[in-house]
Amino acid sequence: MMATATREAYGKTLAKLIVEHDDLFVLDADLTKSTKTIDAKKARPEHHFNMGIAEGNMMAVAAGMAASNKVVYASSFAMFAAGRAFEQIRNSICYPNLNVKVCATHAGISVGEDGASHQCIEDLALMRSIPNMKVFQPCDAKQTEEIIKAVYSIEGPCYVRLGRLGVEDVYDENYKFEFGKGNVLKKGGKVAIIASGLMVQESLKAY
């Protein structure tokens, strides 16, 4: 089975979307190669802005652009996107319910050589606690593609949690994402395992 990082699928999908939609803009915090927004930059450079290592400012700029009828995808590592920029996301994006899609990569503890300072599990709790924020965590490349396309049309702020490591495919090309609906992958009689992100693959192994 193929092992593709969800961040890689994010970059490829974003590169397609940025060409298709004139109102779509991408912001990044000096991590374009790591978050894979570099794919979108190559596809449409005038719609991509590197905001530097200033995540709070990036979210504020994203809010301003969204208030001007733009759909903004803002990316950094989860620790910095959700952690360092929490106040700007809470007050400048979610309070006015603006169309900003925070796509955070390198989430969780499986970030390898990036180390403990970049490991982040708090981001889920932080983002789920804010009114108007909708949280997504795809488990593989196909689900990432579907979610990244879907959040463009979902009104208001979204947080998409993406990983660093390559993960095995769970869904095939026929998979269609439905907002708010869970997917039953295996059936049993005594135990229910509910998972998201790369824990879906681990749960399937446990089954």
Domain boundaries, the chain: 3-181
pLDDT digits (tens, 9 = 90+) for 78-124: 999 999 999 999 999 999 999 999 999 999 988 777 788 888 999 99
What pLDDT is recorded for position 1?
A: 61
What pLDDT is recorded for position 16?
A: 98
Is 55 designated active site? yes
Nearest to 57 by CA among 35, 25, 30, 22: 30
What pLDDT is recorded for position 129?
A: 97
List CB contacts of 64: < 8 A, sequence separation 6 or more: none
What pLDDT is recorded for position 116?
A: 84
Name the β-bridge partners of 100: 72
CA dihedral 92, 94, 142, 117 (to 10 degrees): 60
> Taking 90 as the threshold, does the pLDDT of residue 147 lie above it?
yes
**One of 55, 113, 122, 146 is an active-site residue; which one?**
55
pLDDT digits (tens, 9 = 90+) for 9-56: 999 999 999 999 999 999 999 999 999 999 999 999 999 999 999 999
Read off the pLDDT of each residue in 161-173 and give the average, rounded to a whole number: 95
Q: pTM for the complete prediction?
A: 0.95
Domain 3-181 grouped into CATH 3.40.50.970: yes
